[in-house]
Structure 1
Amino acid sequence: MTTLFVRHAVSDYKAWRKVYDAFAPVQKASGVKAESVYQAADDPNDVTVTHDFANAADARAFIENPKLKEAMASAGVVGAPTMWITNKA
């Protein structure tokens, strides 16, 4: 199992969440097996998202999908996100 972690600041969590939820069909078509959303305890606009994939290649392809960048921009992501891919040990 491969997990992609994405951490970013958003301008408004509720507005971001609407776009994130609407993006679910693209996630599924891109091989996302499961996902989770977390907010920092002291800042609800500091968001970390996890996406599980079958392999790292699928995770990399998802990161490079232009639709993902468009969704992030329209959702109010502030600055560049931090992304990293992990494999379960």
Structure 2
Amino acid sequence: MMIIHHRVQNYEAWRPVYDAHEPARSSAGLTNGRVFRSAEDPDDLVILFDMADRQKAEAFAASEDLKTAMQRSGVQGRPDVQFVG
């Protein structure tokens, strides 16, 4: 499983960019994405993905494509990315 934790400027602006990036996640073997929002701060997100191939997922997490999408969507600061399983 791949877990991402980050804050966004505005969830409503972030979500369409996240949804449009689904083909890139699928190509990296990431499926079944689940987005959770903090009850105290709805712009504080945790995202869980099932991961078919850790190497592909790590390459995706380090990619310029993901970095660009995160910047466009309003991600604040550096995301915390963890791989568990």
TM-score (norm 2): 0.93
Unaligned runs of 5+ in 1: none
User: d(CA) in 1 for partners of 2:57 and 2:77?
Assistant: 21
SS state of the match for residue 33, structure 1? strand
Unaligned runs of 5+ in 2: none
User: d(CA) in 1 for partners of 2:53 and 2:26?
Assistant: 14
For 1:73, which of 71, 76, 80 is the aligned residue?
71
Post-superposition Cα deviations, 1:54-86, rounded to whole Å, max 9, x if no partner, equal 132122111122111000000000111111100
SS state of the match for residue 69, structure 2? helix
Identity %: 35
TM-score (norm 1): 0.89
| Alpha-carbon contact 2:8-2:75 (below 8 Å) kept | yes
Q: Which residue number in structure 2 is paired with residue 85 of structure 1?
A: 83
Higher relative strand content: 1
Post-superposition Cα deviations, 1:14-62, rounded to whole Å, max 9, x if no partner, equal 1000100010111111111221100001110001111111132122111
For these two proteins, the number of residue pairs brought into alignment is 85
